Amino acid sequence: MALQSIADIGKTLALRLGGEKYAAFIRLYLDYKQVVGELLAQKSYPYRYQDDILFVAVENNSWMQELVLRKHELIARYQAISKIKPKDILFFIRTPKDKS
């Protein structure tokens, strides 16, 4: 029996718990940090995936502008590394206090 890392087990568990309905969003969410990098992943997060569009919540206007400028690069990265391939990414401001 092959050993799996804790991270791989966590990903598998998240996909199973999310079910078929949320599988695409969970995959995009799990790949997000690898796609955008450490810093941008701290300032933003995937919020929803609907009709092949990924909606990303961003901390403020400055970080949103950075993501908007990299939008085509991010879509290309998702297409290269993820099983789910968003056609577009839309960004919106959502401050940490809005998360509750």
- Residues 34-75 have pLDDT tens digits of 999 999 999 999 999 999 999 999 999 999 999 999 999 999
Concatenated DSSP letters of 22-70: HHHHHHHHHHHHHHH-HHHHHHEEEEEEETTEEEEEESSHHHHHHHHHT
- pLDDT value of position 97: 60
CATH class as words, domain 6-99: alpha beta
- pLDDT value of position 82: 85
**What is the biggest distance separating any 2 CA atoms in the chain, rounded to whole angstroms?**
49
Question: Residue 53: which of 24, 93, 19, 11 has the closest Cα?
Answer: 24
Does this model's pTM top 0.85? no
Question: Residue 59: which of 76, 44, 80 has the closest Cα?
Answer: 44
Mean pLDDT value of segment 2-24: 63
Domain ranges in the chain?
A: 6-99
Distance CA 41, CA 29 (A): 10
